[in-house]
């Protein structure tokens, strides 16, 4: 049976199919359709069905950037009109927000456009206190009035309900939600107590509103995609990657689209975690350079590092999220840093005659100049000029490269850059991109309390292996692993993920007052809800597991650290949790206040439904231990060395034990690995390339 994963990227849509019996891998890349991403998925699937039968497909998974693109305002993804019901007196909650300013010194800073118009923010007379006690009951008359208010807005298609302290008592939210669903059969309803039952009113309401906004778009997209699968006689349930790196069925994901905003980037980190576990790599860095962006994340002991909150559709600056520039969404997501330094990132000369790279990207259409449709220079064009890409074309020669056009595009910057030579401009473009990518790796290592020199860099994406050694040089990293089919490695991650569902409960108690029995009861309740959600997705009890975590902080702090908790949660678990918190605080912030009181804020239970994984099998027993013979030699430009005669290898021809010294290029269908002078590469028993300093 075939297991199929389809990853929609900004430039290409990648499909990987793995025969679970023979281990055979089938792969293809087709251009993405940004305005209609389902077309790219259908095209990739049609290509696969030319060589396989639909009845032989046993599993289908998918990752998409549709939710992010919609919030960013992509043409063709117009957001629906949404209404928000809040507690009386809190109508301006979304407008007030937090004090975060995306530009501190700009008096005319523009905040993100409101997702709900003020006239659609509707106040309801009810009140619950922080302990869940009812102060003002929600009457039937008030519910009827709320329904009538909505009837006066017939073009509202989705509703968010976020009442004060509903995380402590959701009875009022459920009562209004039931009434709305009965009165409007086609209305999408999102309750804050269902998507984010945790304290902090603004973040909880923002998460609820984002979910409500995305519900109609994502549900229609996933239903259309499921229908396209059925038209092709692919009858298996469609699975979707969530921001946390866990899978969900399309039906489940469609009900909580806020959980899949970072769906696309997460799959690459999951693939890195799978490979790291198989190779016994304790500390791995996920380094993904695609056509539009480059992303980095960390994997410790085979576990991707997660964060509990992010700002959807926000801006980034030097790889860091700019707080206040997006919409706060409080769901678990793979902790990534991202920068506009992909193959399609456009280079230009600014008004001062300084070379710049990004943030604009040529995307899938028109793409880099070398693809034949544009005259604007990109990182890919710079690599073409430097001789680093096969002049015969990409994707096995099926995608020709216009070398002359790429050279002309790069040379067009010369007049603005003091008449620099075209090779020097190209080398400068690559150097700037490398510096940007090294910065995002620093963010997920040094700024998270880790030393990058302790990590193995796993490089993938269309350009990851081409730039990996330069990034490693910047950070003192000495070992790089390039997996098979690196250009489709993110799609491979879709075959290595498990089903997950996360349940959060607020506690807000200090270490001296916390009741372990009460917290254990909360964990048990959360775990029960998680198991029920997995059962609804077809997971059997013997395939279930769970992970317990607690958000903790020093009393008086505004932000928490997430710490793994023991089971059962007793006095010993409290002591262990405090020790882990002090240790983690020292790693992240450089100090720990052992005498300070620790406050527990939320408990979090992640239920895991184990899915079958692709085998990580050793290659054919035939093994060599010698220098590989190059296919040919080609001159490649290296900064500080000029043009260097470089050995060119075809990766398909390399066997375990083969090795080569830099300078070398190792070409394959979907990517190319550059081994500079001073580095060497060898093929391990699983046919990964292991690149190390000479």
| pLDDT number for residue 155 | 95
Select from 455, 173, 500 the least CA-distant residue to 334. Answer: 500
Are 378 and 290 in contact by the 8 Å Cβ rule? The answer is no
Evaluated on CA atoms 399, 405, 407, 410, the torsion sign reads: negative
381/399 Cα distance (integer angstroms): 14
**Whether the predicted pLDDT of 315 surpasses 90:** no
- Tell me what the mean pLDDT of segment 20-29 comes to: 84
247/477 Cα distance (integer angstroms): 32
**Whether the predicted pLDDT of 215 surpasses 90:** yes
- pLDDT tens digits along 577-603: 999 999 999 998 999 999 999 999 999
**Whether the predicted pLDDT of 77 surpasses 80:** no
- pLDDT tens digits along 188-199: 999 999 999 999
- Tell me what the mean pLDDT of segment 485-514 comes to: 92
Are 267 and 606 in contact by the 8 Å Cβ rule? The answer is no
Select from 609, 578, 612, 607 the least CA-distant residue to 595. Answer: 578
Residues with Cβ within 8 Å of residue 480, at least 6 apart in sequence: 456, 457, 458, 459, 468, 469, 472, 689, 690, 691, 692
468/470 Cα distance (integer angstroms): 6
**Whether the predicted pLDDT of 214 surpasses 90:** yes
Are 175 and 138 in contact by the 8 Å Cβ rule? The answer is yes
- Tell me what the mean pLDDT of segment 216-230 comes to: 92
| pLDDT number for residue 76 | 63
- Tell me what the mean pLDDT of segment 549-554 comes to: 96
SS (H, E, C) 504-526: EEEEEEECCCCCHHHHHHHHHHH
**pLDDT range class, residue 478, cuts 50, 70, 90:** very high
**pLDDT range class, residue 159, cuts 50, 70, 90:** very high
Higher pLDDT, 89 or 615: 89
- Annotate 505-528 with b (16+ C-beta within 10 A) or e (fewer): bbbeeebeebeeeebbebbeebbe
Name the residue with tokens 């990766």: 651
541/519 Cα distance (integer angstroms): 24
| pLDDT number for residue 617 | 77
**Whether the predicted pLDDT of 331 surpasses 70:** yes
- Tell me what the mean pLDDT of segment 630-656 comes to: 94
**pLDDT range class, residue 11, cuts 50, 70, 90:** confident
DSSP H/E element including 465: helix 464-475
Q: Integer distance in angstroms from the first to the last C-alpha of the chain? A: 42
- Tell me what the mean pLDDT of segment 324-333 comes to: 91
Cis geometry, peptide bond prior to residue 359 (ω within 30 degrees of 0): yes
**Whether the predicted pLDDT of 74 surpasses 70:** no
CATH 3.30.420.40 for domain 2-72+219-260: yes
Are 347 and 355 in contact by the 8 Å Cβ rule? The answer is yes
- pLDDT tens digits along 262-313: 898 899 999 999 999 999 999 999 999 988 889 999 999 999 999 988 888 8
Q: 499-609 belongs to which CATH class?
A: alpha beta
| pLDDT number for residue 626 | 73
- Annotate 548-570 with b (16+ C-beta within 10 A) or e (fewer): bbbbbbbeeeeebbbbebeeebe
Higher pLDDT, 191 or 75: 191
**pLDDT range class, residue 620, cuts 50, 70, 90:** low
- Give me the chain's average pLDDT, please: 92
What are the residue ranges of helices labelled H in 237-392?
A: 250-255, 263-279, 379-385
Name the residue with tokens 């997702």: 115
Name the residue with tokens 């990227």: 9
DSSP H/E element including 94: helix 93-96
- Tell me what the mean pLDDT of segment 94-112 comes to: 84
Residue ranges matching CATH 3.30.420.40 in the chain: 2-72+219-260, 280-341+432-493
| pLDDT number for residue 25 | 85
Residue ranges matching CATH 3.30.1490 in the chain: 499-609
Are 92 and 117 in contact by the 8 Å Cβ rule? The answer is no
Domain at 280-341+432-493, CATH from 1.20.120.450, 3.30.465.10, 3.30.420.40, 3.30.1370.10? 3.30.420.40
- pLDDT tens digits along 363-393: 777 889 999 999 999 999 999 999 999 998 8
| pLDDT number for residue 606 | 96
In sequence order, what DSSP letters do the residues of 158-226 get, joined into one string? EEEEE-TTTTT--HHHHHHHHHHHHH-TT-EEEEHHHH--SS-HHHHHHHHHHHHHHHHHHHHHHHHHH
12-21, 265-274, 346-355, 557-566: segment of lowest average pLDDT: 12-21
**Whether the predicted pLDDT of 75 surpasses 60:** no
| pLDDT number for residue 178 | 97
């Amino acid at each position: 049976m075939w297991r199929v994963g389809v990853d929609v990227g900004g430039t290409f849509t990648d499909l990987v199919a793995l025969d679970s019996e023979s281990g055979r891998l089938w792969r293809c890349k087709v251009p993405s359709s940004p305005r209609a991403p389902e077309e790219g998925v259908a095209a990739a699937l049609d290509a696969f069905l030319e060589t396989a039968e639909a009845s032989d497909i046993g599993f289908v998974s998918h990752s998409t950037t549709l939710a992010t693109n919609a919030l960013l305002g992509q043409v063709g993804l117009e957001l629906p009109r949404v209404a928000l019901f809040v507690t009386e007196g809190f109508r301006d909650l979304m407008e007030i927000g937090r004090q975060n300013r995306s530009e501190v010194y700009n008096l005319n800073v523009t905040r993100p456009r409101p997702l709900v118009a003020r006239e659609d923010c509707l106040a309801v007379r009810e009140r619950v206190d922080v302990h869940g006690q009812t102060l003002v009951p929600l009457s039937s008359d008030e519910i009827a009035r709320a329904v009538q208010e909505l009837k006066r807005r017939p073009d509202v298609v989705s509703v968010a309900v976020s009442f004060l302290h509903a995380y402590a008592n959701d009875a009022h939210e459920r009562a209004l939600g039931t009434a709305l669903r009965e009165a409007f059969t086609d209305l999408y309803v999102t309750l804050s107590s269902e998507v984010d039952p945790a304290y902090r009113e603004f973040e909880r309401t923002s998460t609820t509103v984002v979910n409500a906004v995305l519900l109609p778009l994502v549900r229609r997209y996933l239903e259309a995609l499921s229908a396209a699968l059925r038209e092709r006689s692919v009858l298996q349930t469609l699975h979707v990657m969530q921001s946390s790196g866990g899978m969900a069925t399309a039906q489940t994901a469609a009900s909580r689209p806020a959980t899949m905003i970072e769906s696309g980037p997460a799959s690459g980190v999951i693939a890195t975690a799978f490979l790291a576990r198989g190779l016994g790599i304790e500390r791995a860095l996920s380094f993904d350079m695609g056509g539009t962006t480059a992303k980095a994340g960390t994997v410790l002991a085979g576990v991707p590092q997660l964060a509990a909150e992010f700002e959807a559709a926000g801006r980034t600056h030097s790889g860091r999220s700019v707080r206040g520039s997006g919409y706060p969404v409080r769901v678990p997501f793979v902790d990534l840093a991202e920068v506009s330094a992909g193959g399609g990132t456009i280079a230009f000369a600014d008004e001062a005659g300084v070379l710049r790279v990004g943030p604009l990207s040529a995307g899938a259409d028109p793409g880099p100049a070398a693809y034949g449709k544009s005259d604007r220079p990109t990182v890919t064009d710079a690599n073409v000029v430097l001789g680093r890409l096969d002049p015969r074309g990409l994707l096995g020669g099926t995608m020709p490269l216009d070398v002359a056009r790429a050279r002309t595009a790069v040379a067009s910057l010369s007049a603005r850059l003091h008449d620099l030579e075209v090779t020097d401009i190209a080398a400068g473009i690559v150097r700037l991109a490398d510096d940007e990518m090294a910065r995002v790796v620093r963010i997920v290592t040094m700024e998270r309390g880790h030393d990058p020199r302790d990590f193995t860099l796993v490089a993938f994406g269309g350009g990851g292996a081409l730039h990996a050694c330069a990034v490693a040089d910047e950070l003192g990293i000495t070992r790089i692993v390039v997996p098979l089919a690196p250009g489709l490695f993110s799609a491979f991650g879709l075959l290595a993920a498990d089903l997950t569902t996360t349940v959060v409960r607020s506690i807000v108690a200090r270490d001296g007052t916390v009741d372990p029995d009460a917290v254990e009861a909360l964990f048990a309740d959360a775990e029960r809800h998680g198991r029920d959600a997995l059962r609804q997705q077809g997971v059997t009890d013997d395939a279930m597991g769970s992970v317990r975590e607690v958000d903790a902080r020093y009393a008086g702090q505004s932000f928490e650290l997430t710490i793994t908790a023991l089971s059962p949660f007793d006095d010993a678990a409290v002591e262990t949790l405090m020790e882990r918190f002090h240790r983690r605080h020292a790693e992240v912030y450089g100090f720990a206040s052992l005498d300070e009181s620790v406050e527990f804020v939320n408990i979090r239970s992640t239920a895991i439904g184990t899915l079958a994984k692709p085998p990580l099998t050793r290659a054919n027993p035939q093994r060599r231990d010698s220098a590989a013979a190059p296919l040919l030699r080609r001159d490649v430009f290296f900064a500080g060395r000029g043009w260097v005669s470089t050995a060119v290898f075809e990766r398909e021809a390399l066997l375990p034990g083969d090795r080569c010294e830099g300078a070398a290029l190792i070409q394959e269908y979907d990517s190319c690995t550059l081994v500079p002078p001073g580095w060497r590469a060898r093929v391990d028993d699983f046919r990964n390339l292991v690149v190390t300093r000479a």
